[in-house]
Amino acid sequence: MSRLKSFLSRLAGRSEHVDTGVAPEPTDPFQGLPDPAFFLNALFDTLPPDLDGVLARLDGLLVTAALPGNAPAALVAWTPLPVGWSATVTVGPSLVVLNGQPTPLSDEQQHTSIHFSNWSSEQQARLRAHRAHIHLSCWTHLPPDQTLTLLYAVATALNPLGVTDETAFNCVPGDALLDLALPRQEGGELALIPTLCWTGLLKFHRPDDGQVYYTTRGFERFGKPNLAWLAPVGSGEEAAELFDALLNYQYHYGQVFAHGHTAEMGGRTMRFSEPTEYAEYLSGGLPILTVEVRHPN
C-alpha cells in the first residue's frame, strides 16, 4: 500500500504524455445507461444518536480538501424516524443526505463491497462486524471527483469503523480514510483521483492457462470505460498502478480511451480493444476495454 501511495506522488509530478494515436470515437459508450451512483455507507458498532461535533470536524477537513471554496457545513434538517434518523447537511450549494439505521448492511451489500475489496481478512472481518450504518448520498452539480471528495469528507467526519462503496465493489477501513480516500489540495498541485479507494480491482481467473484478468469497477462514475488486463498471477500491484495512471490521465486530460487506441507510459506500450472473450463476465454490463501491455525488452 505504501508503494502505491509513493506511485501516486510520482504521478503528480511527472509530465509524461500519453498519445492515444487516434481521435476519440464520436459515439458515447455510456449513452442509455443509468446515471452513475454517488453514495456511500459509513459503518458503526452503534448508531450515533446525533451529529454533535461532526460539522466542526467536517469544516476542518474541508479547509484542505480538493473542493472549490471553503463554504462552512450546516445542518439544515434533522428528522427522527421510528427506526433511526434522517439528516441533511449542506456545503455551499451541495446537499448530502444522511440516513442513519441501527442495523448492519444486508449480506448482499457487504458481499458487493467488503468481500470484493483487497483489504486484509482481519480488516474485512472488523468491518463485517458492524451493527449500524449511515447511508450518505450527494445532490450536487460538482464534477465526479469533487462529489466523491465531499462524500468522503462527510463520511470521515463521522469517525466510522469504515466506509463501503458498492458501485466500486470496495470499502475503506476508518483508519485509512484520511490518508488514502480524501484528496487534499496542497501547494497548487493536481489533486489525483485516489483510484485505490474510489474504484475497485477485481480478479477473474481464466481457466485456460491460469492467468488472471485484473478488472476495474467504478470508472464509469468518471465517464470512462472500465479496463481489464490479462496478466500472470501476482500482478495485482502493477495492475493497480497501471489503472490508476490511466484513469487519472483520462480524467484530467479529458480523454476517453476507445477500441484501437494506443498509448505509451513508463516505457510500456498499451493497446486498447473490445474484449474478445468473457465480455459479459468482465464488464458487469458496463463499458469495458481490454488493455494489452507490452513491456520494454
pTM of the model: 0.86
Distance, in Å, from the CA atom of 239 to the CA atom of 169, rounded to the nearest integer, reads 16
C-alpha dihedral sign at 230, 234, 236, 237:
negative
Matching residue, cell 451541495? 94
Task: For residue 281, give the C-alpha cell.
Answer: 463476465
DSSP SS3 for 187: coil
Which residues are CB-neighbours of 85 under 8 A, at least 6 positions away? 78, 79, 99, 100
Q: What is the DSSP string of 194-261?
A: -HHHHSEEEEEE-TTTS-EEEEEESGGGGT--EEEEEE-TT-HHHHHHHHHHHHHHHHHHT----TT-
DSSP-assigned letter for residue 272: E
Question: pLDDT in tens for each of the 297 residues of the chain?
Answer: 443 444 334 333 333 334 444 444 434 544 554 455 799 999 999 999 999 999 999 999 998 888 877 789 999 999 999 999 999 999 998 999 999 999 999 999 999 999 999 999 999 999 999 999 999 999 888 899 999 999 999 999 999 999 999 999 999 999 999 999 998 876 656 678 999 999 999 999 998 888 999 999 999 999 999 999 999 999 999 999 999 999 999 999 999 999 999 998 878 899 999 999 999 989 999 999 999 998 776
